[in-house]
Amino acid sequence: MTDHPDVTDRLGRGLADLRVSVTDRCNFRCRYCMPREAFGSDHAFLERDELLTFEEVTRVVRAAVECGVRKVRLTGGEPLVRRDLPRLIGMLARVDGVEDLALTTNGSLLAEQAGALRAAGLHRLTVSLDTLDEATFRAISDVALPLARVLDGLDVARAVGFSPLKLNTVVRRGRGDGEVVDLAAYARARGDVIRFIEYMDVGTTNGWRNDEIVPADEIVARIDAAFPLEPVGPTVAGEVAERYRYRDGTGEIGVVASVTRPFCRTCVRARVSAKGELYTCLFSARGHDLRALLRGGASDAQLTARLRDLWLLRTDRYSETRSAHAVTPPKVEMSYIGG
């Protein structure tokens, strides 16, 4: 492993955080991510041989570590639908330089898999939880699975050692946003850390509208009125969540204000799609093909050099310039590269 402090983009941002999608498939059809109209029974998902193999993912992660990455997060789609995922986790846990190995899931398969994930070497677990109400859960996820499946999975995950869990809640006006305080109370009572995320214009199919944003300031004010809060500084450079702790010492919350307070200038995150395309921004229209290198005989040094060169050219800052776009530019779907 070699440190590369000079691997900074044109805005002076280093590369420290890599998100790797292991599948473009998901067993939910959440309206803000994979609406059923766009991802129905006739949608053409990637074939098995199009996905990066576990060995290829591991090579990409090793190359990213050589460029400065220390944190790796597995995403999807829903990563737990990828067969034999604990084997990949075990491979990545052994990569020298990966200091934080995490996974984001919708929680529906956690009860069956949490123990294997922990045993394989996964450090941290983030679960999407947008509501505690059964009817709202069905409306948001657009599937027949009961909310209890997710909540049971959370209980199992805590029991096998994923504590504190991190919960992600997308807050959308009129779509369960009245539960902000209830969700904070749920996390607070169980020692979990919850992050409230402003509804973003990811992809092109989720029907995003500016008037459906619940600003981070409003979210914090609502929770503060029930459980007094005080701000906390970031723990690491490039942290996207603004953190607040409860004044009585019983934990913390975070808000991700990507729309109202963009953090592009401190973003140190890259994403790799399930078929091996590197995206340097969540709102990118186009990725850079790494799979061709992996399957074309490129050496590890050549792969590292390609990652480094792509990052050095990066100028992304979409959230800062969002309001300047008269016409919304095309963007990759979030389900394709993870959140």
The parent domain of residue 50 ranges over: 17-337
Q: Assess if residue 318 is contained within a domain.
A: yes
Give whole-number Cα distances, 127 to 108, 177, 180, 283, 291, in Å.
Answer: 9, 18, 16, 22, 29
Angle at 76 between CA 72 and CA 77, to 5 degrees: 165
pLDDT tens digits, 169-211? 999 888 778 999 999 999 999 999 999 999 876 655 555 577 7
Question: How many Å from the N-terminal Cα to the C-terminal Cα in the chain?
Answer: 28
Contact (Cβ atoms closer than 8 angstroms) between residue 182 and residue 189:
no
State how many domains the chain has.
1
Give whole-number Cα distances, 201 to 7, 39, 119, 176, in Å.
Answer: 29, 17, 37, 18
Query: What percent of the chain has a predicted confidence (pLDDT) above 90?
Result: 70
pLDDT tens digits, 243-259? 999 999 999 999 999 88
Q: Assess if residue 27 is contained within a domain.
A: yes
Strands (DSSP E) contained in the chain are 17-21, 71-75, 100-105, 124-128, 166-171, 193-198, 229-232, 242-246, 252-256, 269-272, 277-279, 288-289
pLDDT tens digits, 269-284? 999 999 999 999 888 8
Q: Assess if residue 186 is contained within a domain.
A: yes
pLDDT of 262 above 90: no
Q: Assess if residue 4 is contained within a domain.
A: no
Q: Assess if residue 7 is contained within a domain.
A: no
Q: The pTM is what?
A: 0.91
Q: How confident is the model at residue 333 (pLDDT cuts 50, 70, 90)?
A: confident
Write the CATH number for 199. 3.20.20.70
